[in-house]
Structure 1
């Protein structure tokens, strides 16, 4: 992430007709309360998860602040492979130019050929050379809400690690998702905030059924008052430059 005014271009529905549900987003933010003590003391009941056996990769367009980029942090921990422009990736790629959503049907592709993300900014989307980041399996992500300190509570504005974890979770690699999120102090909040949606998506089959589940989830959110407890990490209010997203 390069600033609070920029969101990164992950494989999500903002490049398609899968509209951002503004009413839900506003309700979400109204319900968010500052409970930093409770957030910082939270822990993952299932431990830190399991490191994936498949390749996890990234094209880094250098649009983000290196101090706040979750992809850069994963790279420093040798948890992500850096790809060069023009280099083809054989597995699943989270990309705004995808035409299908990630679904449980993608599990075999991910296990055999890996998972990659494009780290670029929405503010520079028009100058991003997607044609030089090729894959036979580009994918979008369905409606999800960010938990990272920069874009907490915003639909679709996911950091690299959140996008990767979402794809892992939806395809049945829940422990692998937890492993990657565990590298960030706020990571567990992503699964907590999106637990209902992620569970719905992970129970689907193909891209079509994921989109149907998305609409079902958004319709339910519009019709029912959502009283789930939500809280931003302490960094979201302090604006700390030390935390990475």
Structure 2
């Protein structure tokens, strides 16, 4: 859990995460100036899929399996973490995510996508109802919002999350580390801060455990 290799599964989002509705005011949303897309492998219950809900709200475009995307692609085949250095790519070419089920990852043809800018997400904790509190098991909207936040599009990230009644919890759970990532210079510094944060959390948990014993 202390190396980038041990976080290769961070970017496979769980399409089964509940998409409970939100009461946010969509009319006041800031316009998104870059494309947001997903490859939907149809492995989930449409009523519980955060990506499908974003599609219904016209906040994300669904790509065909063989369709290429030139922006940042969140995928477990990536070799670098998302960082603020990716802002120009996001601004000009957008963000795409692979939307599939954790339980069926081995049968999903992710490698066939071959993105130019494949990226991993650093350590973050899920807030979606299915995987609440679990490290790295993010829903589609959480993965997209995290990328937006880290690359400087914090307002738009919150807009996307606000379409879900539980969305605000993602920022609340990860506020400190998201701010740290968003102030890094590149992928290497994000990984360094990720590992430092995990180590500090592990030490704190050990202290808390010893204090209760």
TM-score, normalization: structure 1?
0.73
Q: Distance in 2 between matches of 1:222 and 1:187?
A: 26
Distance 1:115 1:19, change over 3 A: closer
The equivalent residue for 2:6 is: 17
After superposition, residues 95-134 of structure 1 pair within 5 angstroms as 95-134=75-114
Compute the displacement of 1:14 (Å): 10
Partner residue, 2:169: 189
| More helix, by proportion | 2
Where in structure 2 are the equivalents of 1:1-245 lying within 5 Å? 16-18=5-7, 50-224=30-204
Structure 1 residues 119 and 19, CA gap change in structure 2 (3 angstroms): closer
Runs of 4+ aligned residues of structure 1 deviating over 3 Å after TM superposition are none
Q: C-alpha displacement at 1:222, in angstroms?
A: 1.6
TM-score (norm 2): 0.83
Q: Deviations over 1:189-209 (max 9, x none)?
A: 000000011011111011110
Query: Structure 1 residues 19, 77: CA separation in 2 closer, same or farther (over 3 Å shift)?
Result: closer
Question: Counterpart of 2:37 in 1: which secondary structure?
Answer: strand
Tell me what 1:230 maps to: none
2:8/2:76 contact within 8 Å kept: no
Structure 2 gaps of 5+ residues are: 10-22, 207-213
- Closer, same or farther in 2 for the Cα pair 1:14/1:161, shift >3 Å? farther
- Residues matched between the structures, number: 190
Secondary structure, counterpart of 2:119 in structure 1: strand
> 1 CA distance for matches of 2:167 and 2:3?
23
Quote the Cα distance in structure 2 between the aligned partners of 1:149 and 1:14.
27
Unaligned ranges ≥5, structure 1: 1-12, 21-42, 227-245
The one of the two structures with greater contact order (alpha-carbon pairs below 8 A, sep at least 6) is 1
Distance in 1 separating the partners of 2:63 and 2:4? 23
Aligned-residue Cα RMSD (Å) equals 2.4
Give the Cα–Cα distance (whole angstroms) in 1 for the partners of residues 189 and 48 of structure 2. Answer: 35
